[in-house]
């Protein structure tokens, strides 16, 4: 029990970041059509204990809570594209470790036939949810159970194709156990979905809250999305909204500005082979993954000079990092003997970071930012150091992507949004132009993009509510139609999803993009 509580604390800390992570040893989904690496299934016994997180006066607070969300959630799918042929797909993980895919009916889980070989296709018509026409006053509504690591995919003018792989040694039950989902891939140009127009948003709906983001960690597509939440209070002032880029116009602006940045940045633009039309822009992390598969090199040495200057600076002065947690403000200094950036907590816990490469900075989860493997019988002290490393590493990775370490030695407390990406030409230009072209600057462009000195200054495009009534996804971006969503959800109030009585997940989960394997997700 004590160890479970520590695991929960780690997850509570990590859940404040856009890291999208499973704890070590937990299942992960694969992407692309290469392999299907799968970890051990989650069981109710291995679930961490209930913890909730909040941001109070700049401090992350984790505490036990009995807050309970509804067992099911209504999702309103609005069509803000110019096309009348738009489909949505909802995938995720049941809280006992099984695969969940919503059926095309919108109120029942897809039932799996026996899968005996890799890349067994799911009939597209079984899971493709058609949206209503653009401008419809009655959005399409669906109902889901509590899910972890979930996505709402959408495609325009054609259906997406998903596949199933059997998991060796895990019995199949027709409800998702023993199966891995092969998803559309932005890094595998042999994927049948590669040249189609598609995108996704990410969310987790657990016992304590709905958390969702307009993820652009992997790509910026022609078709963006906006998010909204109607809370159970019913008050309009309690609604939340993150407006996405404009349909096609947002992508065009990102393409133009990356061309101006030149170098490998303009190579992030993906064009359809058949007609040369731009289909999407890959994130630098996605590009690095794809290049590695092709034995090519993207952004090799890009950050080396900048990182060298950072290490030289903090060999002479302290780097202050506010953990916004129990460790408080910690000091870092480059050790002259080892050359490692070294931090020590108030409990004398020591962590070190080597110089990261560009790939490490873009992924936020490789090289010095990777989590060391933990033994099954890890001690509380070992688990606490893991959490401490993740906390400090998140703030370092964010500052490196934003290129603020040479102008601010007080992270993130001394950060000014106006200086992000502007103090040095060596920066994450993809993230820069994503935020520059997103309404109110709200985007989600790299895995720690919601590191901020206060929640009010958080630039990540997220919505979160402990009492969600309706989750709105406006495919195509633009404004969310709260009135239409409210009316549609009232008409759908009697709907419910099967598979809704699985064990509850105890913390927010988000997946980490490994950055080293185009086929897998891992820590």
**Band of pLDDT at residue 241, cut at 50, 70 and 90:** very high
Of the listed ranges 5-9, 44-48, 482-486, the one predicted with least confidence: 44-48
- The arithmetic mean of pLDDT across residues 393-397, rounded, is 97
H or E, element range at 251? helix 249-261
In a 3-state reduction of DSSP, which class is residue 254?
Answer: helix
Q: How many other CB atoms are found less than 10 A from the CB of residue 117?
A: 8
Of the listed ranges 61-70, 112-121, 307-316, 432-441, the one predicted with least confidence: 61-70
Please report the sign of the dihedral spanned by the C-alpha atoms of residue 391, residue 147, residue 158, residue 181.
positive
Mean pLDDT comparison of 19-33, 48-62, 146-160, 499-513, highest-scoring range: 146-160
- The arithmetic mean of pLDDT across residues 72-84, rounded, is 97
**Band of pLDDT at residue 58, cut at 50, 70 and 90:** very low
Per the prediction, the chain carries an average pLDDT of: 83
Rounded CA-CA distance 450/328 in Å is 19
Q: What is the pLDDT of residues 360-385, one digit of tens each?
A: 999 999 999 998 888 889 999 889 99
Please tell me the predicted confidence (pLDDT) of residue 487.
86
pTM: 0.84
**Does residue 159 surpass a pLDDT of 80?**
yes
Please tell me the predicted confidence (pLDDT) of residue 38.
25
Rounded CA-CA distance 441/403 in Å is 17
Q: Residues 295, 317: contact at Cβ < 8 Å?
A: no
Say which residue, 235 or 53, is predicted with more confidence: 235
Torsion angle of the four alpha carbons 404, 409, 411, 414, in this order, in degrees rounded to the nearest 10: -80
Share of residues in the chain with pLDDT > 70 (%): 81
Q: What angle do CA 482, 130, 89 make, to 5 degrees?
A: 85
Rounded CA-CA distance 498/494 in Å is 13
- The arithmetic mean of pLDDT across residues 41-64, rounded, is 34
Please tell me the predicted confidence (pLDDT) of residue 66.
56
Please tell me the predicted confidence (pLDDT) of residue 41.
30
Q: What is the pLDDT of residues 469-522, one digit of tens each?
A: 999 999 999 999 999 888 877 876 644 444 333 222 222 233 333 222 222 222
Q: How far is CA 337 from CA 316, 334, 340, 353, in A?
A: 14, 9, 8, 14
Q: What is the pLDDT of residues 336-364, one digit of tens each?
A: 999 999 999 888 889 999 999 999 999 99
Rounded CA-CA distance 160/155 in Å is 7
Rounded CA-CA distance 403/397 in Å is 10
Is residue 351 classed exposed, middle or buried when 0-12, 13-18 and 19+ CB atoms within 10 A define those classes? buried
Rounded CA-CA distance 374/46 in Å is 15
Please tell me the predicted confidence (pLDDT) of residue 405.
98
Sequence-ordered alpha helix ranges (H) in 329-446: 358-363, 380-402, 429-436
Rounded CA-CA distance 487/78 in Å is 13
Tokens 């059509």 map to which residue? 33
List, in order, residues 6 or more apart from 193 with CB less than 8 Å away: 155, 160, 161, 184, 185
Strands (E), 157-258: 163-166, 179-183, 197-205, 210-213, 219-221, 225-231, 240-242
In a 3-state reduction of DSSP, which class is residue 196?
Answer: coil
Rounded CA-CA distance 446/432 in Å is 10
**Does residue 140 surpass a pLDDT of 80?**
yes
Strands (E), 206-311: 210-213, 219-221, 225-231, 240-242, 269-271, 278-282
In b/e form, how buried is each residue of 404-424, taking b as 16+ CB within 10 angstroms?
bbbebbebbeebeeeebbebb
Strands (E), 111-174: 120-121, 129-130, 140-145, 147-156, 163-166
Say which residue, 98 or 437, is predicted with more confidence: 437
Share of residues in the chain with pLDDT > 90 (%): 70
Q: How many other CB atoms are found less than 10 A from the CB of residue 328?
A: 12
Q: Residues 31, 430: contact at Cβ < 8 Å?
A: no
**DSSP β-ladder status, 72-79 and 468-475:** parallel
Please tell me the predicted confidence (pLDDT) of residue 49.
30
**Band of pLDDT at residue 8, cut at 50, 70 and 90:** very low
List, in order, residues 6 or more apart from 82 with CB less than 8 Å away: 134, 247, 476
Of the listed ranges 298-307, 388-397, 404-413, 496-505, the one predicted with least confidence: 496-505
Characterise 57 by phi-psi region: left (phi > 0), alpha (psi -120 to 50), beta (else): left
Q: How far is CA 124 from CA 84, 121, 148, 339, in A?
A: 18, 8, 23, 53
Strands (E), 58-194: 59-63, 72-79, 86-93, 99-101, 120-121, 129-130, 140-145, 147-156, 163-166, 179-183
Of the listed ranges 12-16, 135-139, 441-445, 500-504, the one predicted with least confidence: 500-504
């Amino acid at each position: 029990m004590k160890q479970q509580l520590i695991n929960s604390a780690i997850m509570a800390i990590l859940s404040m970041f856009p890291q999208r992570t499973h704890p070590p040893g937990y299942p992960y989904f694969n992407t692309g059509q290469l392999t299907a690496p799968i970890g051990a299934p989650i069981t109710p016994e291995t679930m961490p204990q209930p913890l909730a997180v909040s941001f109070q006066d700049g401090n992350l607070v984790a505490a036990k809570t009995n807050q309970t969300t509804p067992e099911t959630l209504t999702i309103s799918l609005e069509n803000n594209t110019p096309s009348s042929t738009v489909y949505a797909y909802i995938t995720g993980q049941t809280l006992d470790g099984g695969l969940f895919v919503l059926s095309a009916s919108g109120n029942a889980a897809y039932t799996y036939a026996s899968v005996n070989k890799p890349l067994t296709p799911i009939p597209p018509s079984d899971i493709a949810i058609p949206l209503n026409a653009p401008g419809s006053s009655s959005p399409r509504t669906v109902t889901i159970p509590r899910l972890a690591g979930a996505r709402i995919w959408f495609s325009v003018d054609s259906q997406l194709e998903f596949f199933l792989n059997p998991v060796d040694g895990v019995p199949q039950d027709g409800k998702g156990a023993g199966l891995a989902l092969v998803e559309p891939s932005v890094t595998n140009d042999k994927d049948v979905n590669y040249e189609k127009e598609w995108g996704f948003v990410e969310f987790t709906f657990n016992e304590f809250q709905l958390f969702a983001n307009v993820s652009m960690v992997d790509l910026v597509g022609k078709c963006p999305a906006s998010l909204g939440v109607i809370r159970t209070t019913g008050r309009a002032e309690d609604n939340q909204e993150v407006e996405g880029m404009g349909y096609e116009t947002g992508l065009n602006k990102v393409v133009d500005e990356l061309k101006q940045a030149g170098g490998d940045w303009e190579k992030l633009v993906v064009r359809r082979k058949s007609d040369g039309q731009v289909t999407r822009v890959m994130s630098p992390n996605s590009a690095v993954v794809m290049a590695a598969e092709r034995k090519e090199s993207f952004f090799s040495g890009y950050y080396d000079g900048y990182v060298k200057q950072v290490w030289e600076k903090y060999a002479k002065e302290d780097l202050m990092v506010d953990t916004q947690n129990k460790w408080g403000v910690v000091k870092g200094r480059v050790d002259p003997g080892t050359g490692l950036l070294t931090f020590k907590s108030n409990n004398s816990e020591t962590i070190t970071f080597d110089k990261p490469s560009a790939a490490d900075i873009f992924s936020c989860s490789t090289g010095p930012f990777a989590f060391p493997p933990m033994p099954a019988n890890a001690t509380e002290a070992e688990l606490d150091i893991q959490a401490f490393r993740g906390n400090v590493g998140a703030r370092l990775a964010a500052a490196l992507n934003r290129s603020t370490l040479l102008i601010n030695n007080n992270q993130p407390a001394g950060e000014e949004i106006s200086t992000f990406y502007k103090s040095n030409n060596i920066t994450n230009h993809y993230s820069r132009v994503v935020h520059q072209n997103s309404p109110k600057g709200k985007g989600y462009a790299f895995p720690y993009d919601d590191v901020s000195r206060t929640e009010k200054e958080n630039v990540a495009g997220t919505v979160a509510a402990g009492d969600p009534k309706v989750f709105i996804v406006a495919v195509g971006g633009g404004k969310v139609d709260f009135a239409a969503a409210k009316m549609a959800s009232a008409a759908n109030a009697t709907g419910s999803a099967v598979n809704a009585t699985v064990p509850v997940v105890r913390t927010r989960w988000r997946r980490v993009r490994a950055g080293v394997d185009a086929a897998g997700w891992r820590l």
